[in-house]
Amino acid sequence: MGEWSGRRAGRLETGTALVRAPGPRLADGIVTHVERRPVDTGLAARQHGAYVDALRAAGWRVRAVAPADRCPDAVFVEDALVVAGDTAVLCRSGALGRRAELEGAERAALDLGLRLSRIKEPGTLDGGDVLQVGDTVYVGRGARTNEEGVCQLAHLMGGRRVVPVATDGTLHLKSVMAALPDGSLIGLPQHVDTSVLPCLRVVPEPSGAHVVRLGPEHLLMAASAPRTAELLAADGWRVTVVDISEFEALEGCVTCLSVLVPGIL
């Protein structure tokens, strides 16, 4: 784990982070936009441990979602569950092979006392397509999330502004776009319909578009985005960096590995 220091001092924010440890079939995870390469599962387990340590060090209570060992991509727990306020929405992936991941996620949401809703057929929605920024929820419409899924989510978001964003050539909206804690957007404009967005600051490398908001001034980013980390640190953000190369080999990123439930319960 590394640090880039900007001028802002980080404050601890408490909340719960749901994570799911990588399973034995991780190396068989789906790849769509990258060429398959071997995944070192031992290294992946260590990288996941360091990711969890970074969440804890930033003040998050970490809870493990029950394993789904038959599902290679279950470690990307963000795709199974969207949490907004006191509601958890169980997703329905556009990838058939990922639909069996929901059981543990449902249990974890109930254990946190969240109200449970679910996306129903014919809707499809992956959590990786849902980017919440204050009162606005941007939802990527593309390979994994369809129009019906966006509409069902909008209905469950209780009055928040839901903005569908057409995506192209990317797995998820959050593969190419992130929000900083001040609400500003960063990312790769060539993959999203920017006409529905406020300005989108272009990042210099693909994984620079992946940011977890650890705290009001604190970001978690991947080691594969050093130029973006440097830029953001120069802007005053505190940036913690983790190496997640084995998850990136499967088109994962820092956001996919957790669901953050802010301390509102």
Ligand X SMILES: CN(C)C(=N)NCCC[C@H](N)C(=O)O
176 vs 169: CA distance, rounded Å: 10
Task: State yes or no: is 155 an active-site residue.
Answer: no
**197 neighbors 165 (Cβ within 8 angstroms):** yes
DSSP letter for each residue of 96-161: GGGGGGHHHHHHHHHHTT-EEEE--TT--B-GGGEEEETTEEEEEESSS--HHHHHHHHHHTTT-E
Smallest separation (angstroms) from ligand X to the CB of 33: 9
Q: Does 171 bind ligand X (CB under 6 A)?
A: yes
Q: Which of 4, 51, 76, 237 binds ligand X (CB under 6 A)?
A: 76
Q: Does 13 bind ligand X (CB under 6 A)?
A: no
Q: Does 66 bind ligand X (CB under 6 A)?
A: no
Task: State yes or no: is 172 an active-site residue.
Answer: yes
76 vs 27: CA distance, rounded Å: 13
Tell how strand 130-133 and strand 115-118 pair up.
unpaired
* Smaller CB separation from ligand X, 10 or 221: 221
Q: Which of 47, 124, 152, 175 binds ligand X (CB under 6 A)?
A: 175
* Smaller CB separation from ligand X, 78 or 217: 78
Smallest separation (angstroms) from ligand X to the CB of 203: 15
Residue 108-147 contact track with ligand X, rule CB under 6 A, x = bound? --------------------x-------------------
230: helix, strand or coil: helix
**Catalytic position from the list 48, 172, 191, 218:** 172
Q: Does 246 bind ligand X (CB under 6 A)?
A: no
Q: Does 95 bind ligand X (CB under 6 A)?
A: yes
Sign of the dihedral through C-alpha 147, 151, 153, 159: positive
147 vs 66: CA distance, rounded Å: 30
145 vs 167: CA distance, rounded Å: 10
Q: Does 101 bind ligand X (CB under 6 A)?
A: no
Radius of gyration, CA atoms only, the chain:
17
Which residues in the 184-243 window bind ligand X by CB under 6 A?
none
For residue 137, give every residue at least 6 positions away whose Cβ sits within 8 Å of its Cβ, in sequence order, or none: 84, 130, 131, 153, 154, 157, 160, 161, 162, 163
Site stretch for ligand X (CB under 6 A), options 26-34, 35-43, 57-65, 158-166: 26-34
Binders of ligand X: how many residues, by CB under 6 A? 20
* Smaller CB separation from ligand X, 229 or 253: 253
| Residues carrying an active site annotation | 172, 256
Residues in touch with ligand X (CB under 6 A) = 29-30, 32, 73, 76, 78-79, 95, 98, 128, 171-172, 174-175, 250-253, 255-256
